[in-house]
Amino acid sequence: MLLPASPAAIRRAAAALRRGEPVAFPTETVYGLGASALDPEAVRKVFAAKGRPDDNPLIVHVTGLPMLRGLVRSLPPAARALAERFWPGPLTLVLPKTRAVPGVVTAGLPTVAVRVPDHPVALALIEAAAVPVAAPSANRSGRPSPTRAAHVAADFPGLLVLDGGAARHGLESTVVSLGDPPRVLRLGAISVEELRAVLPGLVVATKTRARAESPGMRHRHYAPARPLVLFRRSRAAALREALAADPKALLLCADADAPLFPGRRPVRLGATPAEIAHGLFDALRTERRGSVLLVYALPRRGLLRAVMDRLERAATRVV
């Protein structure tokens, strides 16, 4: 059930959370499927509804640093510096957990992932429920993350969804672990360059390490509505040949790259990195006009590095 996120609807969703019922809500990144992080039964319902493997831990959403007390054992100086710069915002910090956080939330890990969302509805909901809210992206496991309330309703008919319009970023939060050195476990809406301005020693975890430390990175993700073939930027000629060979194939590329493929009207992903990130998951979910989606890769800089990570994980094949 879609409800415009009025104060009354937020109160109703908060009451549902307190009763142990999952609800979906907007954040600045993507929609989340929330449950009280202190209620293991409610959290189990989230795993069951998503069909999520139980080895994949959830992010706990709080309204600010005071609510973190009791959930994490310590806040190292590097974490504090990142929190001061980027919260509320699309940054998730992995910190040592206390016993107050049930093991089902963290999939048995000794750490908990936490963030303060930068969205008035998300903050009002957590505030009204007065509990930390464990929330994965509100999609069935393996599907692209939902950037609109209608995407959530399509995956979960009957679920209470607070409709806050299209998500501002359209890409999930960046997940950072605070070891030595600090590591990006999942690329996301805050770029590596922005993080390095605060923590120059920050590294991006190798794929192997990210899979070992962040179980979500092991699982199939972002399956689009049609098979997707990703062409590297050095393979424009191969992409032109593939298009010539298959009139039913649909081309997706950045606006600036469209002239490389004359004679074919592409789905334009956007002119700026923010625009491209914003529309990506919607395109993956809803683009059914071709028999196959042929995507021309984007330059791996700033926000587009995270977009490329999602495209690689959505791809059936990379050429």
Instruction: Work out whether 186 is an interface residue with ligand TXA (CB under 6 A).
Output: yes
Contacted entry of Mg ion, ligand TXA, none for residue 273, CB cut-off 5 to 8 Å set by kind: none
**Stretch 109-148 residues interacting with Mg ion (CB under 5 A):** 137
Which position's Cβ is nearest ligand TXA?
A: 216
- Least distance in Å: CB of 136 to Mg ion? 5
- What residue type is 4 in one-letter code? P
Instruction: State how far the Cα of 138 lies from the Cα of 92, in Å rounded to an integer.
Output: 17
Contacted entry of ligand TXA, Mg ion, none for residue 255, CB cut-off 5 to 8 Å set by kind: none
SS (H, E, C) 56-92: CCCEEECCCHHHHECCECCCCHHHHHHHHHHCCCCEE
- What residue type is 119 in one-letter code? H
Q: Are 235 and 242 in contact (CB under 8 A)?
A: no
Binding mask 4-43 for ligand TXA (x = CB under 6 A): -----------------------x-xx-x-----------
State CA 14 to chain mean position distance.
22
Binding mask 232-261 for ligand TXA (x = CB under 6 A): ------------------------------
Query: Smaller CB distance to Mg ion: residue 175 or 249?
Result: 175
Instruction: State how far the Cα of 144 lies from the Cα of 137, in Å rounded to an integer.
Output: 9
| Helix or strand (DSSP H, E) at 312 | helix 303-314
Q: Are 172 and 27 in contact (CB under 8 A)?
A: no
**Stretch 108-147 residues interacting with ligand TXA (CB under 6 A):** 109, 111-113, 135-137
Q: How large is the greatest C-alpha to C-alpha distance in the chain, in angstroms?
A: 61
Instruction: Work out whether 58 is an interface residue with ligand TXA (CB under 6 A).
Output: yes
Site of interaction with ligand TXA (CB under 6 A) = 27, 29-30, 32, 56-59, 90, 92, 94, 106, 109, 111-113, 135-137, 172-173, 175, 185-186, 213-217
